[in-house]
Amino acid sequence: MAGQAHYTSAPPSAGAPHGGFRFTAVSPAARPALDVLRPLTAYARPPGAEDHHGFPVAFAYDRPDEDTAVLTRTRLTGRDYTGRWGNHFCHVLYAAPGELAGLRPVELWDAPHWAAEPAHGDDLPDLPQLVPGSAVGPDRVSRVLAGLGEPGARLLQRLLTAALRALAGEGPGAVLVSGDPDRIVDWIAAVSYTLPAGLAARLTFTTYTARPQDGDRHLTGTRPETGERAPGPVFHLDRPAWDGCPEPSPAARFLADALGDGRLDVLDAVADLWDAGHADGGEAGVRRLRTGCELLAPDGGTGTAGGDGSRLADLVRAVAELRLQAAGLAPDRLRETAAHRLAGGTAPLGDVRATLAPLPEPYRSAVLAGLLDALETSAALRADALDARACAFLASLADEAPDLLAAAPATALHVLRHAPGEPRPAALRVLRLHRRGLWDDTETCDVLYDLLRAEPAAKRRAPRRSWRRGPAPEEG
């Protein structure tokens, strides 16, 4: 059950001896939360405005805490019961996040629950469910994007980038500036429909405020006369412009392009991957979304992890959060993504075995195969990324997973030459690969020759053991 409440400036009553702004009607579920709801009921009229007709409606969505979702719809009503100018009416819906399951909050823009006038002195009923309106949907967003063409696509890419950064706590929220409140709703909806429903339920917003500099929502709408007050990235919607706004991230570009092209199946696939993980938002939820986009992008993405030294660890951590078996992602797709992600690394890989441990099979082998694919394409990457520990683990694949190592002969030679220990164990591994038919005669001879050449000169010049000192130990 969702609670609801009405808030406006009203005369004294039997239950409220003092007149002024107050809750005039409240449902049972909302009554315990009035202290939480009161700060969300404010409304400031645009500077210099005198006539309340045509003032924008402020439709807002907030998450005061993990267990609370609040929707408000506020409009200026003119004069209050004393004749004072500036009264407003706010209708509040108070719910647990689970009551929004399957909905995007922006879909409640014109929900049938919103009251036209405040109730006075009456208890309101709780709402058995939240019912979306009919004005906001994917078709509306598609029409907006189709009408704007390339400028609209680029605006959505940048706006979504800013929204994801704000959701992850990586930057301030975005400000949307327009004289048309419906246009602001359009772009909040556009961002919302690129996201899985569970992550869209974390996206806080308001369609209007006169003080954008004071807000902490992810998306904040305001009018042109107050837009310059905003400190964060500002998007001017009346003339699509984004000067000073972030460049599109790979995930934002992938999602925005899918929505703009009408490829809703792609967005559904991203949502399936996201839903297979834990139902969380913030940094973890955005990281899971970025990884899902990277896995599904045709080119495997361009890598969204942090510095080069943690690319493998970041990838494994993000992939493990996706619960790939539940999502049904093919291991080969993960292999391709890993190869693209890891090809840009430059720092040592470190303990590869321990890093891969959180992944179940066959996904652990898929990431390992992708790593070998990346190493095979670049001698510089092999030199930079393969320290002694990584070489020792990869060399052991000649025994544990010879097919993987045999598919990357240049990498195999590198790790067999640089793994700790003398050349003889490495040579035996090479011969083992040859006997299994995984390397041909030419490859085997070349590798054995290189291993022999790499043997320390001092060991090659060492005198043979004298027969007088007893027999030499049997060689394996």
> Quick one: 414 and 318 in the same domain?
yes
Last residue of a domain, one of 302, 325, 343: 302
Q: Is residue 128 part of a domain?
A: no
Residues 95 and 171 in one domain: no
Q: What is the domain range of residue 92?
A: 3-108
Question: C-alpha angle 63/240/170, rounded to 5°?
Answer: 40
Give the pLDDT score at 419: 78
- Domain membership flag for residue 114: no
Q: Are residues 295 and 309 in the same domain?
A: no
Same domain, 167 and 216: yes
Is residue 356 in some structural domain?
yes
**Residues 92, 219: one domain?**
no
The Cα 453–Cα 460 span in angstroms is 10
Residues 77 and 188 in one domain: no
pTM across the whole model: 0.77
Name the strands in the sheet holding 174-177, side by side, starting at the edge strand that comes first in the sequence.
20-26, 3-10, 85-95, 68-79, 58-65, 205-206, 219-222, 174-177, 234-236
Instruction: Enumerate the β-bridge partners of residue 175.
Output: 220, 234
Whole-angstrom distance, CA of residue 138 vs CA of residue 129: 22
Cβ-contact 93, 6 below 8 angstroms: no
| Segment 257-295, tens digit of pLDDT | 999 999 998 899 899 888 877 666 788 889 889 988 988
Q: What is the pLDDT of residue 19?
A: 83
Judge if 233 and 312 occupy the same domain. no
Residues 375 and 411 in one domain: yes
- Tell me how far apart the alpha carbons of residues 55 and 411 are, in angstroms, rounded to a whole number: 67
Query: What DSSP line would sit under 48-90, residue for residue?
Result: T----TTPPPEEEEEEEETTEEEEEEEEEEEE-TTS-EEEEEE
Residue 132 lies in a domain: no
Q: Quote the pLDDT of residue 86.
A: 84
Encoding tokens for residue 399? 């025994």
- pLDDT at res. 228: 84
Q: Are residues 169 and 23 in the same domain?
A: no
Of 46, 38, 71, nearest in space to 217 by CA: 71
Asked whether 249 and 304 are in contact (CB, 8 A), the reply is yes
Strand-pairing partners, residue 6, are 25, 91
Q: Which segments in the chain show pLDDT lower than 50? A: 303-309, 457-476
Q: Which one, of 279, 333, 283, 287, lies nearest residue 313 by Cα?
A: 287
- Same domain for 297 and 326? no
Q: How many structural domains compose the chain?
A: 3
Residue 466 within a domain = no
Determine the pLDDT at residue 458: 36
